[in-house]
Copies of this chain bind each other. A is one copy, B any other.
């Protein structure tokens, strides 16, 4: 049992897998000697050498092309795209090539490939370096999508993503990097497609992801003081999606909320709400409510960014108001 920061858990998880599979390689900008701009790959080039931990030019299309070509010819690859906002400059590689090629070729190729990227706000980096784009990935058939909220999950889901023979987009949250937690000794391998009930409750279900998980948990504490018992689910994996856990929790509580950092329209919460409101309709005691970043680009100033991202206060107020009045967000 060692205490590990979320940041360090990234390199820890990758190292576990690079030791296990000598074929596994990594590429990205400034990931080798510099250890990554978020210091998430510190020590890897020292242990595994520059052929396995490879610096690249600022050529995101070439990075993912190299990753794709290597993966489809038998080399498992981890590619880093520094900020998730930059997925946009190589979106063709992700959405049109990597995601579709297995289906298009009727299964002739596989893509043991993980695209890691720093996602999310809270660092006052402004609209082009703060986005939560997990919904971009979720909407593309052929991609698996993971977003851990704890150091242990970083390690375990990293291992699961690397071992998965399909392409996984792995979102590391910028504002969770510094957080520390105990991580068990020995090999850690988690399972994709499994949500986790991180707090049990009986009145409402709150589904959250990444940075929103600790906020939902804190909100649940405050809601408990107000007499509302909230069950909090860390969704962890958007694709595959653990609908069973979401549906059974909602069947129990009768109320479903999401806490989302992505902007409002077509977020992952819209998908979850649609599933719940179709399949658990007769269990619902009131409307499903999404607590999201408003549908605006993210502002840079600290005071504005704090207003934009879902806060503990906003979660508490929205859930309370909704439970009390059956109203809207």
Contacts and interface: CB of A to CB of B under 8 A. Distances in A.
B85 A96 contact: yes
Contacts of A104: 126-128, 297, 300
A61 to B, nearest CB: 8
Given A88-B95, A100-B297, A128-B96, A274 B279 contact: no
Interface in A100-147: 100, 103-104, 126-128, 135-136, 138-142
Given A287-B281, A290-B278, A266 B263 contact: no
Contacts of A284: 281
B127 A265 contact: no
Interface in A232-253: 239
B274 A141 contact: no
Chain A interface, DSSP helix/strand/loop, else mixed: mixed
A270 B288 CA distance: 13
A257 to B, nearest CB: 10
A170 interface: no
Contacts of A273: 270, 273-274, 277-278
B128 A100 contact: yes
Contact of A286 (B136, B262, B270, B281): B281
A73 interface: no
A287 B278 contact: yes
B88 A103 contact: no
A103 to B, nearest CB: 4
A278 B329 contact: yes
A167 to B, nearest CB: 13
A135 B286 contact: no
Q: How many copies does the complex hold?
A: 2
A328 B287 contact: no
A274 B270 contact: yes
Give the residue among A86, A135, A239, A281 with the most B Cβ atoms within 10 A.
A281
Contacts of A290: 274, 278
A89 interface: yes
A295 B141 contact: yes
A85 B100 CA distance: 12
Interface in A192-217: none
A51 interface: no
A309 to B, nearest CB: 14
A267 B297 CA distance: 20
A269 interface: yes
A265 B100 contact: no
A267 B265 contact: no
13 contacts: A89-B91, A96-B127, A96-B128, A103-B127, A103-B296, A139-B262, A141-B265, A141-B296, A266-B267, A270-B274, A273-B273, A278-B288, A279-B287
Given A142-B297, A277-B287, 12 more contacts: A96-B128, A104-B126, A139-B262, A139-B265, A141-B296, A142-B296, A266-B267, A273-B277, A274-B290, A278-B289, A278-B328, A281-B287
